[in-house]
Chains A and B, each alone.
Chain A
Amino acid sequence: MDTYVPILALGLIAAAFAIFSVVIGSLTGPKRYNRAKLDSYECGIEPTPQPVGGGRFPVKYYLTAMLFIVFDIEIVFLYPWAVAFDALGWFGLAEMVLFVLTVLVAYAYVWRRGGLDWD
């Protein structure tokens, strides 16, 4: 656990700095109330009312997140394999080729189905 103490120390310094900045920023600046100033920015006109949280997001963004998880998990498997590559030899290589090809099949399917076309 000792190895993480330095990170904690740096984290504390950074957190202290960031929190200090945010707090001091709200104290030192002037405060002049103006209703229009506190409106959300919409190019200078009355903002179009938005539902809380911006309403429903287009599903495309979630699709990106799901694709990311697929590939991130692939990477999670790749890293230990890469580190231990020299010890694993031909067996490790063959196994990983099989695994990557399996993922690539899914990748090709997604591409063909238009999952990688953004708009």
Chain B
Amino acid sequence: MGQLVERTAGVGAGLATEDMILNIGPQHPSTHGVLRLRLVLDGERIVSAEPIVGYMHRGAEKLFEVRDYRQIIMLANRHDWLSAFCNELGVVLAAERMLGMELPVRASWARTMLAELNRVLNHLMFLGSYPLELGAITPIFYAFREREDLQKVMEEISGGRMHFMFNRVGGLKDDLPAGWLDRARRTIHAVRGRLADIENLIHGNEIFRARTEGVGVLTTEQIAAYGLSGPIARAGGVDFDLRRDEPYLAYGELGDVLRVVTRKAGDCFSRFDCLLEQTRVSLDLAEACADRLAALPQGPINLRLPKVLKVPEGETYAWTENPLGINGYYLVSRGEKTPWRLKLRSASFNNIQVLGELLPGHLVADMVAILGSMFFVVGDIDK
């Protein structure tokens, strides 16, 4: 091993200059997971950056091919562990479309509501962790207080706190418990009220603004070229949201509540700002869904399925607006009980590709600000 080290030392010509090679990750506090960035530094300025992914590759796509559709839901909700419900959604939507299923109305509204609650959970995580990366240690505890309350609501209905596993092909696993809607509505109301705490603490802070404004600016061209999506793209002025532009579930009927939050600047601050505002919109959407669900007549929330679920031959692409961006499943079936191929397009994988272009020219300290504002989940990158 000693020999090997010596050999690479001879090759590393970069060391002869004043450039310094710094490996951020795989075990680094600011990459929340095992993302690795290889930076070349001149002093504290980044000369070049290369994201190295794959430390957490679990072969999800290959595993999809040897699991039946009930098991796939469980696998699918794990790649982005902060938006498990939304991940499940894509799989069941694809399967339902291929099977030509007509979803019960209540299932469609309940799914929309849960997806929005999951989005709030996800966004709260980043609203807390981003200030933490910039050195403000308190907001994350505020965010986690809200998350805790929302997780209780989700736990009551599904039994899970992260991996809800509540979607089924043809609907939801169970009906909503009695009185759950009211409890959910109260929680939504409380969370919306206390969201101001986070905003007051960090949003207007001078240092926070100085750290984030004008830092890590993504242009519309870059966003288009790299296929960025979600709050990151919308913060850069790309007005694109599948919930509005290609409505699925009940989003088509929520047009008056659904506001697509966009910002112009494309810097770290507008990404954070966008996320904060989007959290509010999601709370509004969830509340609207709860109102609608209460008004709907009783009825089934799922469809009966055959013991062996075989999806007819064909292919389809189901994409959803996940909290972190567009999440798509390309399902190819040959009529078996397992998919022949289930390609996963995850949001974070595309979103972090731009780092190689975004980081050079910034300071190491900015790197942390930018990484945090890219809102990624490592499992979603490595799949």
Contact = CB atoms under 8 A, between A and B. Distances in A.
Interface in B15-52: 15, 18, 20-21, 23-28, 34, 36, 42-45
A25 B8 CA distance: 35
A44 B33 CA distance: 12
Contact of B26 (A43, A51, A60, A119): A43
B355 to A, nearest CB: 16
Contacts of A42: 23
Q: Which of A43, A50, A51 has the most CB of B within 10 A?
A: A43
Nearest to B12: A49
Nearest to A50: B15
B325 to A, nearest CB: 26
A55 B15 contact: yes
Contact of B23 (A45, A59, A118): A45
Nearest to A55: B15
A48 interface: yes
Contacts of A55: 15, 18, 20
The interface residues of chain A, by DSSP majority, are classed as loop
A43 B25 contact: yes
B45 A119 contact: yes
B69 to A, nearest CB: 37
B94 to A, nearest CB: 37
Interface in A31-50: 35, 42-46, 48-50
Given A48-B21, A51-B15, A55-B15, A43 B28 contact: yes
A47 to B, nearest CB: 8
A56 interface: yes
A37 to B, nearest CB: 14
Contacts of B26: 43-45
A33 to B, nearest CB: 15
A57 B21 CA distance: 13
Interface of B: 1, 5-6, 8-9, 12, 15, 18, 20-21, 23-28, 34, 36, 42-45, 363
6 contacts: A35-B1, A45-B26, A49-B12, A49-B15, A55-B15, A119-B43
